[in-house]
Amino acid sequence: MTFVQVIDLKTTRVGEMDRLMDRWTEATRGKRTATHSIVGKDRSNSTHVVEIVEFPSYEEAMRNSKLPETDRIFKEMMVLCDDVPRFTDLDVVRDEQLNKSAARAFFETVINDRDLGAADGLLSPDYADHDPANAADPLGRRELKEQTGMYLSAFEPVFVIEEQIAEGNLVTTRWTVTGTHSGEYLGLEPTGRPLTITGHTTFRFEDGKIAEGWWNWDQLGVMSQLGLVET
């Protein structure tokens, strides 16, 4: 995110304003450059409404404002307002999604830096881990740390985060991990074979800590690269 526009207005016709925004969304489908819109109503003054609209850039915001549909909806919005809306254009100088940072820290600090103790600061005490490869479901925080230690010894993994998506209290991380089978794994003696695995993990956050996790990764690819199955 590089640019947001804040629209500060007063209206006693909040319901009509909401329906007007629905019409704008439908009318500009396939044309608009806005990527995210948040509308909030002041708790202490129900007529005070603020909309925050996100754009990829200032230039894209200006292109969006020149759409005929935007101009028409703006004129209708003026009729619903008790006063002239106030527009503020903001260049984003900091955009930090805290849950995404915490999810990234699990991969980069706990695994890549081999700091298993850091997991206690990232995971809630009653953390629940779900993974098709787990012997039991779910695993708790202590069991996850033990299993992670096993993987560190067996494969010396290094995670590269390809992409992260956050929605509400959920963060999904798409990753690629590389390593070498340098330690015993499920009774298999080290083969020295290199491994490359892809997958994604979704973490659910609660009170700033990771409370639950779901893992999906290429288990068949691991078995194939270790020479245990033919594909």
Where exactly are the structural domains of the chain?
A: 3-91, 98-225
Q: State both tokens at 118.
A: 């850091």
CATH 3.40.50.720 fits 3-91, yes or no: no
Q: Which of 72-81, 132-141, 199-208 has the lowest mean pLDDT?
A: 132-141
Distance CA 20, CA 37 (A): 14
Q: How confident is the model at residue 91 (pLDDT cuts 50, 70, 90)?
A: very high
Q: State both tokens at 157.
A: 């993994």
What Cα–Cα distance (Å) separates residue 71 from each residue in 14, 28, 170? 20, 11, 36
Q: Could you please state the CATH topology (level 3) that the domain comprising 98-225 is classified under.
A: Nuclear Transport Factor 2; Chain: A, (3.10.450)
The structure's pTM equals 0.78
Measured over the CA atoms of residue 143, residue 144, residue 146 and residue 150, the dihedral's sign is: positive
- The pLDDT > 90 percentage for the chain reads 76
The per-residue pLDDT for 229 is 72
Q: What is the DSSP letter of 115?
A: -
9: pLDDT strictly greater than 80: yes
Pairing of β 170-180 and β 194-206: antiparallel
Residue 101's φ and ψ, nearest 5 degrees, are -65, -40
Q: State both tokens at 188.
A: 């298999």
Is-same-fold flag (3-91; 98-225)? no
What would the mean pLDDT of 99-115 be, rounded to a whole number? Answer: 96
The per-residue pLDDT for 54 is 94
Q: How confident is the model at residue 231 (pLDDT cuts 50, 70, 90)?
A: low
